[in-house]
Amino acid sequence: MLSSLSELLQRKTSGPKIAVLTAYDYPTGRMLDDAGIDLILVGDSLGMVVHGLPDTTGVTMDMMLIHTASVCRGVKRAPVIADLPFASYRTPEEAVFNSKRLMDCGAAAVKLEGGVSMLPQVSAIIAAGIPFIGHIGMLPQSVKEEGGYKKKGKTSEQIDRLIADARALDEAGACAMVLESIVPEVATQITGFVKASTIGIGAGNGTDGQVLVTPDILGSFPWFRPPFAKARADVAGETLRAVREYIADVRG
């Protein structure tokens, strides 16, 4: 089990692989920590699975601050990573300001989407002494301009761009990076040349670790689950059963 981001390098070189899940509230953060999860991500996916938004672009800093603080209250050991939401890091100054706000909530690191194009913001965050996690490949905050969620690394141009993004983040000093919806062979290639730990989601098994949205593995968000996420429980089904049983008891 990880207790510090400084242990990531050792895990990359000697294993075992890093297990990461999302949390958006106190009880989930506390349970994930008790279960021994390595890292906890307060992801902007909360916009969809908690607030019912169609995508992550409607998530605000106020939302991220509330949820990050709630999760951190329940976590004693695992480092908590907090997402910088859409339009919260348009300049290096804004990126640092909002990163500090998340760190004040108890986060151990912040994450933003993008590689080469975000290098000024990334460099400013790291220069401010804030641990940074990158995110390349499919970028959910860019879903509107890209016209949907699309696998990356299918063409030589895309591969070159991914490699450039990974190298830029690595050289800037990212301690880890999420590789989302990337062709597995490309994700494995990136994992091999960066010093940072790679955390895959929909990118095959060749990364240094994996991250999933916790409601996907718990079966607590039954209206949508990505094909790469295996439901290991049926919380939605049990909730319906328990509520219907309660209704029947009350009504006699």
Catalytic site residues? Answer: 180
- Provide the residue type at 52 as one letter: G
23 within 8 A of 29, measured Cβ to Cβ: yes
Please give the Cα distance from 32 to 42 (Å, whole number).
12
CA distances from 213 to 21, 39, 83, 127 (A): 6, 12, 13, 30
Q: What is the dihedral of CA 149, 183, 160, 86, to 10 degrees?
A: 30
CA distances from 141 to 75, 93, 123, 224 (A): 27, 20, 20, 18
